[in-house]
Amino acid sequence: MLRWLLPALALFLAGPAGGQVPEAPTDPAPVIASRTAAGEDRDIAARIEAIFAQVDGLQGAEVRVSSGVVTLTGSVATPREAEQAEAIARRVAGVVTVQNALERDLDVRTNVAPAVERFEGEMRGLIQGLPLLGVAIGVAALIGFAGHLLAGVGRLWTWLTPNAFMAELAASSARVVFIVLGVVIGLDILGATALLGAVLGGAGVIGIALGFAVRDTVDNYVSSLMLSLRQPFRANDHVVIEGQEGRVIRLTSRATVLMTLDGNHLRIPNAIVFKAVILNYTRNPQRRFQFDLGVDAKDDPLQAMAVGLATINDQPFVLADPEASAVIQEVGDSNIVLRFFGWIDQRETDFLKGRSLCIQAVKAALEDGGFSLPEPIYRLRFDPGAAPSGLPPQPTAPSAPARRPSAAETREARDTAPAPAVEELVRQERAGTQRGDLLDDRRPIE
């Protein structure tokens, strides 16, 4: 019994510590035979020479085999062919190692002839494939032309999508789809559909790069699409967009065109218009004006407010509903500032003219009511050591009597009708061309 236990115990103690699993044995390296028959070396050499005879460019290689060691000599046209010869020799059974002593043949004719032969073969293949290439190009062009004709049917796209911008986008998309379809069918005829995957993959990478490069243009394009659907204003509306004031001429696929109150064209990118705060004066014909007037600090501000409101309500262009109002804005150093509010109908009264006449009328009414409108008071202090100016009083020329305006001039000054000049310019501009305008009176304003 001890004879069996002692060896088992010794094996257990000599085992891996810590319960580690022993590594699996690796395959031993191939063993080189101790003897090689002379006939085996001849068979290896004959086999390699037969293979080289069938491979273009390796016919000039010479093979010697001794004890399984293959020595390659001679010349080849390119280094790639030398590597190919060595790789072939290593794969033959019985070869121990390969000594590659092949040299490159630098003869011009030897190196140029294969390239010329390959070029001639490619040219012959191209000439033979010209009819098939012509058919493929013709089919692709025919499909693309059909898509172009279909995209040009404006009534179809307008019927499908009443929005002008969407109709143009759908027509362009149809044209692109037909062109891609024609290219796919043409490549399928040529048997080069694998090329299409490479082309589309490259186009996808290029598209991503271009997307980052022209993101502002894409943003403006999408904004144009949203504005054409939302319709934030109508033609000839008086709006303020990002501090730019004017009347709307048209909405294009790239910009919103305004006519400023000075009669100039103003183009605002649609990306800015879509994100901007838009103030539209035309949507509500009633508009409130305001102005400030100051009375002396000793005067009664409530009585001054009553006089001013009575004067504003007496103006024929001021609306009774909503009614005019007034508040004490602030108490200054030498006056009390009153703020007056009034409403007009912009369809009948020009905003600036009506406000101007109300300011003049309230000022005159306050002065006639005994209220003083004080001017700013400045206190000057002179140092005791400062020398007096000693300037003699300058004689003043007698002022000419002020010319009294004529009755016609007075009526013109009191005219409050809206000025139609800018509005008429917009009408003429829109009458000249309507192409490319995305404003649609049939859609609601949002």
Give the pLDDT confidence of 305-328 residue by residue, as tens digits. Answer: 999 999 999 999 999 999 999 999
Confidence check: pLDDT of 116 > 90: no
Number of domains composing the chain: 4
Q: Residue 84: give its domain's CATH number.
A: 3.30.1340.30
Confidence check: pLDDT of 127 > 90: no
Counted residue by residue, the chain has a size of 446
Q: Give which of 397, 370, 240, 371 is closest to 295, Cα–Cα.
A: 371
55 and 89 co-located in one domain: yes
In a domain, residue 24? The reply is no
251 and 278 co-located in one domain: yes
Question: From CA 144, how far away is CA 152, in angstroms rounded?
Answer: 12
Q: Distance between the two ends of the chain, CA-based, in angstroms?
A: 103
164 and 178 co-located in one domain: yes
Q: What is the pLDDT of residue 246?
A: 94
Give whole-number Cα distances, 38 to 43, 44, 62, 70, 97, in Å: 9, 10, 18, 14, 17
Question: From CA 198, how far away is CA 138, in angstroms rounded?
Answer: 23
Most confident of 44-58, 156-170, 198-212: 44-58
In a domain, residue 387? The reply is no
Q: What is the pLDDT of residue 375?
A: 75
Question: End of a domain among 324, 348, 377?
Answer: 377
138 and 184 co-located in one domain: yes
Using a pLDDT cut of 70, give the percent of the chain over it.
77
264 and 192 co-located in one domain: no
3-state per-residue secondary structure call for 234-262: CCCCEEEECCEEEEEEEECCCEEEEECCC
402-406 long-range contacts (CB < 8 A, ≥24 apart) are: none
In a domain, residue 366? The reply is yes
Most confident of 179-183, 193-197, 369-373, 412-416: 369-373
Report the mean per-residue pLDDT for the chain: 80
- Mean pLDDT lowest among 9-23, 156-170, 181-195: 9-23
Confidence check: pLDDT of 212 > 70: no
Confidence check: pLDDT of 23 > 70: no
pTM over 0.75, yes/no: no
Q: What is the pLDDT of residue 2?
A: 40
Question: How many of the other CB atoms lie within 10 Å of CB of 368?
Answer: 10
Q: Residue 263: give its domain's CATH number.
A: 2.30.30.60
- Average pLDDT on 228-252 reads 91
Range of the domain at 102: 38-106
303 and 352 co-located in one domain: yes
In a domain, residue 88? The reply is yes
209 and 271 co-located in one domain: no
Confidence check: pLDDT of 27 > 80: no
250 and 293 co-located in one domain: no
In a domain, residue 54? The reply is yes
Of the pLDDT bands very low, low, confident and very high (cuts 50, 70, 90), residue 21 is very low
Using a pLDDT cut of 90, give the percent of the chain over it.
28
372 and 293 co-located in one domain: yes
Q: Residue 307: give its domain's CATH number.
A: 3.30.70.100
144 and 199 co-located in one domain: yes
Six-digit token string for 6: 């002692």
Q: Which residue has the higher pLDDT, 131 or 28?
A: 131
In a domain, residue 330? The reply is yes
In a domain, residue 445? The reply is yes
Confidence check: pLDDT of 69 > 50: yes
In a domain, residue 349? The reply is yes
- Residue 335 pairs in a beta bridge with 296
208 and 357 co-located in one domain: no
292 and 265 co-located in one domain: no
Q: Which residue has the higher pLDDT, 9 or 321?
A: 321
Six-digit token string for 113: 């002839």
Q: Give which of 379, 295, 308, 372 is closest to 340, Cα–Cα.
A: 308
Q: What is the pLDDT of residue 138?
A: 87
Q: What is the pLDDT of residue 10?
A: 47
